[in-house]
Structure 1
Amino acid sequence: MIWIANLVVALVAALHVYFLILEMFLWTRPLGLKTFRNSIEKATDSAVLAANQGLYNGFLAAGLVWGLIHGTPDFAFQIKTFFLLCMIVAGIYGAATVSRRILYVQAAPAALALILLWLA
């Protein structure tokens, strides 16, 4: 069961790396504009903020990777739990302040991973 939980944790980490790429490098490009439903003007004005946001998503992904590769199972569990909880809180906040989609794209996958982790 732990391998299933770790697989989902890895997928959540990969999702946050994708968020990093979208927010840091593709924000003003066609894929970023379409994904975030922005105009080029709005995206250009907010590009620095989006890059900062992307960097934070990268840190969250790095935390999950750290938890996945850590050699002490109990500590690895704590690391993964902490970073998944951070993602859930960020997703709930984003859903409340920006778009309900964030709840489904960010918080829900992290919550699923956390549930599987706790069941394992």
Structure 2
Amino acid sequence: MKIASLILSGFVAVEHVFILVLEMFLWQTEFGMRTFKLTPETAATTATLAKNQGLYNGFLAAGLFWALFFIKDQNSKYQTLVFFLVCIVIAGIYGSATAKFSILFTQGAPALLALGMTILANRK
């Protein structure tokens, strides 16, 4: 169960790196505009906001990678993973309520699954 927790948390981290790239660097490309259903005009006027949002997703990924690869103490690793996964679940819920409902499934659900597995794997 511990291995599954680490793999799922790693998947969520990689997903947020992808979101960072998409929002910071691909926002105004054909792929970015198709992904977010944007017109070129809307993409241009929202590019700065998207870069900022992408940066925040990068911070979430960095927190997960930090916990997975650099924190050796198991209790600190657990607490850090839980913190960042909870942040992502909350962001997924908020994003689905305010922007696009599918965010609940694309970002919130994987983080919730990783969170649940992390909690189960660390029960004493």
Q: In which range does the TM-score fall when normalised by the shorter chain?
A: over 0.9
Normalising to structure 2: TM-score of the pair?
Answer: 0.95
Normalising to structure 1: TM-score of the pair?
Answer: 0.99
User: Structure 1, residues 25-45: CA drift from partner, whole Å, max 9, x if none?
Assistant: 000001101111111110100
1:78 aligned partner: 79
User: Structure 1, residues 32-69: CA drift from partner, whole Å, max 9, x if none?
Assistant: 01111111110100000000000000000000011112
Supply the distance in 1 between the matched residues of 2:93 and 2:57 (Cα, whole angstroms).
Answer: 15
Report how many aligned residue pairs link the two structures: 120
Unpaired segments ≥5 residues, structure 2 = none
Q: Which consecutive aligned stretches of 4+ in structure 1 deviate over 3 angstroms post-superposition?
A: none
For 1:96, the aligned partner's letter is A
Q: How does 1:5-84 map to 2 (within 5 A)?
A: 5-69=5-69, 70-84=71-85
For 1:40, the aligned partner's letter is P
Unpaired segments ≥5 residues, structure 1 = none
Identity of aligned residues (%): 48
CA RMSD of aligned residues (A): 0.5
